[in-house]
Amino acid sequence: MKKNKISKNWVNKQRRDIYVRQSKVDGYRARSAYKLIEIDEKFKIFKGGLSIIDIGAAPGSWSQYALKAAKSSKLISIDLKKMEPISNSVQIQGDFTEKKTQEEIKKNINGKVDVVMSDMAVDTTGIKNIDSIQTGELCKEAMLFAKDHMKENAYFISKIFMGRTFNEIVADGKKYFKEVKVFKPKSSRKDSKESFIICRKVR
């Protein structure tokens, strides 16, 4: 009964969500596209001819927007789950935190890249401190990869949760990059602890 009630509440929440409805109109696979759109509107990241890595890409809405906004760009998307194909992109199914997956990414990039973006998050437990720590570790893993494979003026974008690891991640960002900002899009749900860290200019 409790599970059915939670499922019904989720369905009702989705129906009321303007970003869910708009994503169907605009052809995006998930409402998360609008978070990246807001990030791009604020920081002016995507333009033509970029090389982009999208980590934790499924179902693919960030990849969809990035390729739409940055025409003639090369994009590699990585996720544990199999994704529906997206034109003009390379898709890798695997665990980003495993060395063999990162080696597969490296085989598909030609030198340094312009954007590394990560919307990775663990399956939530409902215990916010644990969720924050585990998602924070994914962010740190993506950041370490990004700093070694990005051009000097490239952008790193990643989901982070407010919590115990927040200050540590921001400090790491400042250690590796000259510019570090934290931004919460309006399209992030009000009850969500998520924000996004945007880093630029590798040290």
CA distance 75 to 144: 19
* 121-134 as b/e: b if 16+ CB within 10 A: beeeeeeeeebbbb
Closest CA to 63 of 184, 97, 73: 73
3-state secondary structure of 161: strand
**Tokens matching residue 175:** 């250690």
3-state secondary structure of 106: helix
Closest CA to 67 of 46, 90, 44: 46
Give residue 188's identity as a one-letter amino acid code: S
Catalytic site residue 35?
A: no
Q: Which run of H or E residues covers position 17?
A: none
Pairing of the two strands 51-55 and 113-118: parallel
Catalytic residue among 8, 159, 178, 184: 159
Would you name the residues annotated as active-site residues? 159
